[in-house]
């Protein structure tokens, strides 16, 4: 009887142990949570994960996971710049204040990453399983115009310059300066000299007596233009907002004599002519030719006929021509020998010859013999 009771007790213990083992199995063999955390930026509110902001804004994110959230952190990235960590919080909710006025106007990619406490299924270098949510934030605190200044050793306004001229420019802008360009503009609008730089401050050199020839004498407008990195408020045709500084200088590399000679169909020296003849001259000068004056003189040195051809009249070429009718009205001349002289005047008003507005040069006299008795 005693042995039967012992066996019964043992059977009961086996049943109890088996029951406890069955109850403990879910605890001993529970599978970890393999799902990723859920995270979302809830402020600022976005449409299609994009929003335009200005000034101070709240940035809030919420995350959830069955294993619990270890931390949330956020990074920001601006195009062309490295990604930087912005904020980091412990727990399942974040809240920070972002003063966008301290940053340039541009699009920023804000990426929020949440990591749970699941150490069995870690994501890369994260604490546990991680997931992310990214939004685009367009910061636009209004345009700022870059400040541009000429500083020494730049010549002062109105200075007469020649040769190698230093021009230093410094710029500043809240958005940052992307590009700086320098130009020297002639009175006719032609760009005589141009240089650029990708820095906010630069020392430029303009050689008015360069290898390609001297810059024409005269007044030039020096323009320094800086473009900032503000992609939200671009100046037309530029990558950002444009700012500039201007000043006037005078280039005087000294006088240059125009080059001048007669060309066909001008009659050859000593040949007889009659009726209507053509006088033509070729003229050139680095400063540009303002006009060519044709004059006819008799044996006593008296001017009996003259005509002026202004720069660019009819042809815009170095050739200047006129027609002289030796039999026309009150300007007709009697038969005989005459001297024809052409005078070219350049556009250098800084170094004028006596009686002219610029530097002048004349041809050697051309002798012609008028004989209108021929038919």
pLDDT digits (tens, 9 = 90+) for 187-237: 888 999 999 999 888 999 999 988 777 888 889 999 999 998 887 888 877
* Per-residue pLDDT, 32: 55
Split at pLDDT 50, 70, 90, the class of 35 is confident
* Per-residue pLDDT, 345: 93
Most confident listed range (162-166, 263-267, 326-330, 352-356): 162-166
Q: Residue 190, exposed/middle/buried by CB under 10 A (0-12, 13-18, 19+)?
A: exposed
Q: Is the confidence at residue 364, as pLDDT, over 60?
A: yes
* Per-residue pLDDT, 296: 93
Q: Is the confidence at residue 106, as pLDDT, over 50?
A: yes
Q: Cα separation of 63 and 115, whole Å?
A: 9
Split at pLDDT 50, 70, 90, the class of 120 is confident
Percent of the chain with pLDDT over 70: 88
pLDDT tens column, 131-157: 889 999 999 888 888 999 999 999 999
Give yes or no for a cis peptide into 265 (omega within 30° of 0): yes
What is the chain's mean pLDDT, rounded? 85
Split at pLDDT 50, 70, 90, the class of 308 is very high
Average pLDDT over residues 65-83: 86
Average pLDDT over residues 102-109: 87
The β-bridge relationship of strands 242-251 and 259-262 is unpaired
* Per-residue pLDDT, 297: 93
Name all contacts of 325-332 with Cβ < 8 Å and 24+ positions apart: 325/275, 325/276, 326/273, 326/274, 326/275, 326/276, 326/277, 326/370, 326/372, 327/274, 327/275, 327/276, 327/372, 328/276, 331/304, 331/305
CA quadruple 351, 354, 359, 363: dihedral, nearest 10: -160
Task: Walk me through the domains of the chain, giving residue ranges and CATH numbers.
Answer: 38-139 (2.60.40.10), 147-251 (2.60.40.1930), 259-370 (2.60.40.10)
* Per-residue pLDDT, 314: 43
Q: Is the confidence at residue 311, as pLDDT, over 80?
A: no
* Per-residue pLDDT, 29: 44
* Per-residue pLDDT, 68: 86
Report phi then psi at 26, rounded to 5: -60, -30
Q: Cα separation of 359 and 253, whole Å?
A: 13
Q: 353: which 2 tokens?
A: 């010859």
* Per-residue pLDDT, 36: 82
- List 226's β-bridge partners, or say none: 180, 243
The β-bridge relationship of strands 366-370 and 272-273 is parallel
Average pLDDT over residues 97-122: 86
Q: Among candidates 247, 101, 238, 272, which has minimal Cα distance to 161? A: 247
Q: Cα separation of 97 and 81, whole Å?
A: 22
Q: Edge-to-edge strands of the sheet including 130-139?
A: 50-53, 130-139, 106-116, 69-77, 84-90
* Per-residue pLDDT, 247: 96
The DSSP 8-state label assigned to residue 228 in this structure reads: E
User: pLDDT: is 278 or 14 the higher one?
Assistant: 278
């Amino acid at each position: 009887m005693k042995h039967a009771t012992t066996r019964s007790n043992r059977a009961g213990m086996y049943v109890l142990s088996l029951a406890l083992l069955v109850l403990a199995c879910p605890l001993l063999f529970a599978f970890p949570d393999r799902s990723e955390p859920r995270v979302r930026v809830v402020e600022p509110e976005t449409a299609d994960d994009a929003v335009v902001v200005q000034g101070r804004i709240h940035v809030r994110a919420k995350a959830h996971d069955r294993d619990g959230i270890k931390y949330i952190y956020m990074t920001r990235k601006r195009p062309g710049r490295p990604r930087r960590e912005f904020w980091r919080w412990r727990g399942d909710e974040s809240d920070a204040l972002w003063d966008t006025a301290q940053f340039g106007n541009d699009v920023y990619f804000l990426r929020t990453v949440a990591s749970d406490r699941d150490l069995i299924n870690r994501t890369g270098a994260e604490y546990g399983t991680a997931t992310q949510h990214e939004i685009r934030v367009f910061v636009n605190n209004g345009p700022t115009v870059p400040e541009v200044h000429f500083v020494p050793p730049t010549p002062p306004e109105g200075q007469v310059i020649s040769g190698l001229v230093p021009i230093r420019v410094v710029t500043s802008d809240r958005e940052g300066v992307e590009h700086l360009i320098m130009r020297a503009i002639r009175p006719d609008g032609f760009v005589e000299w141009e240089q650029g730089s990708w820095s906010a401050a630069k020392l430029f050199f303009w050689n008015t007596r360069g290898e390609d020839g001297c810059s024409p004498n005269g007044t030039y407008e020096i323009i320094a233009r800086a473009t900032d990195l503000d992609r939200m408020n671009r100046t037309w045709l530029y990558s950002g907002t444009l700012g500039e500084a201007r000043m006037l200088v005078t280039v005087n590399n000294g006088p240059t004599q125009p080059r001048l000679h007669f060309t066909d169909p001008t009659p050859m020296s000593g040949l007889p002519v009659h009726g209507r003849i053509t006088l033509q001259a070729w003229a050139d000068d680095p400063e540009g030719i303002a006009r060519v004056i044709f004059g006819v003189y008799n044996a006593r040195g008296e001017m009996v006929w003259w005509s002026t051809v202004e720069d660019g009249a009819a042809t815009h070429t170095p050739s200047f021509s006129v027609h002289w009718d030796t039999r026309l009205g009150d300007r007709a001349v009697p038969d005989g020998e005459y001297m024809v002289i052409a005078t070219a005047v350049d556009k250098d008003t800084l170094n004028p010859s006596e009686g002219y507005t610029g530097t002048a040069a004349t041809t050697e006299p051309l002798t012609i013999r008028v004989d209108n008795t021929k038919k």
